[in-house]
Structure 1
Amino acid sequence: MKSEISTREFSMRFTSTPRGARLARRLVSHRLDEWGHPYDGPANQTVTLIAAELVSNAVRHGHVPGRDFRLRLTADPDALWLEVTDTRTERLPELRVPCGESGRGLMLVEALADKWGVTPRQPGKTVWAGVRPSPATGR
């Protein structure tokens, strides 16, 4: 009898630049597709959108010159988990009313993720989000 893999993981460091953020987002979508969540499926689209917001925030608000950010994507039997770690300690993300053209990213994460949060670390922080794909729809 063949044993099934119950947990899958992808983890990689990226340059803290718009190009690094774009590559991270694309690799999240690609990895999810490899793991059985097709590009055009709700789980892939949801987690990729959350990844885009979190890596964009890491580049824009968590950037420390000369330091990268790390992305970790995990698929377990119950959920898809995304973690984005940067090295900027003094700026912890918080959910707040947007002002002007910005400030909507974490509201989007709040709306799309089943669970999300921030874990401080030294140096920096990890912002994480989890999505439980529904068996019927894939999200």
Structure 2
Amino acid sequence: MRLKLGHDHPAVETVVLLVSEAVTNSLVHSDSRNGGRITLALADFHDFVQVDVTDAGGETAPEVCGDLLAEGGRGMLLVDALARKWAVQDHDAGRTLWFQVAYTRDL
């Protein structure tokens, strides 16, 4: 992520954090965890970055955990708090979690 966006990109830290959370969710919770594929797509639209994380899907979709004291489940809480928009879409290839991180550039 850092190389694609650039180390000085205004959204790089947030994007790296949220990608880490989303890919970890795929590795732990999706059917991709047993050697399946996880695909990551990144696009910069000049005032937001969109990230798509696609995996094989699973029994449950990513959701925000309401229990702040739970041992896990806070990754989607971070996505919900830091992304300007996010959603989960099921499709023939599996499931995609996408999110957008807004930013402004200093002139």
Q: TM-score of the superposition, structure 1-length normalised?
A: 0.68
Per-residue deviation at 1:50? 0.6
Question: Over residues 36-59 of structure 1, what are the superposed CA-to-partner deviations in whole Å (9 max), with x where a residue is unaligned?
Answer: x51xx5410011111010011010
Is the CA contact (8 Å cut-off) linking 2:29 and 2:58 kept in structure 1?
no
Look up the equivalent residue of 1:76 and give its one-letter code. F
Match of 1:51 among 1, 13, 19: 19
> Would you identify which runs of 4 or more consecutive aligned residues in structure 1 move more than 4 Å?
none
Counterpart in 2 of 1:83? 52
Work out whether 1:32 is the aligned partner of 2:32.
no
Work out whether 1:60 is the aligned partner of 2:28.
yes
Larger displacement relative to structure 2 (113-122 or 61-70): 61-70
Is the CA contact (8 Å cut-off) linking 2:10 and 2:105 kept in structure 1?
no
The whole-number CA distance in structure 2 between the counterparts of 1:131 and 1:66 is 29
The whole-number CA distance in structure 2 between the counterparts of 1:89 and 1:44 is 29
The whole-number CA distance in structure 1 between the counterparts of 2:95 and 2:12 is 25
Match of 1:93 among 62, 74, 92: 62
Counterpart in 1 of 2:104? 134
The whole-number CA distance in structure 1 between the counterparts of 2:47 and 2:63 is 26
Q: What CA RMSD, in Å, does the superposition of the two structures yield over aligned residues?
A: 1.9
What is the percent sequence identity of the aligned residues? 35
Question: Over residues 35-85 of structure 1, what are the superposed CA-to-partner deviations in whole Å (9 max), with x where a residue is unaligned?
Answer: xx51xx541001111101001101011143231100000112331000100
Change (3 A) 1:79 1:42: closer
Greater gyration radius: 1
Q: TM-score of the superposition, structure 2-length normalised?
A: 0.86
Look up the equivalent residue of 1:106 and give its one-letter code. M
The whole-number CA distance in structure 2 between the counterparts of 1:130 and 1:67 is 25
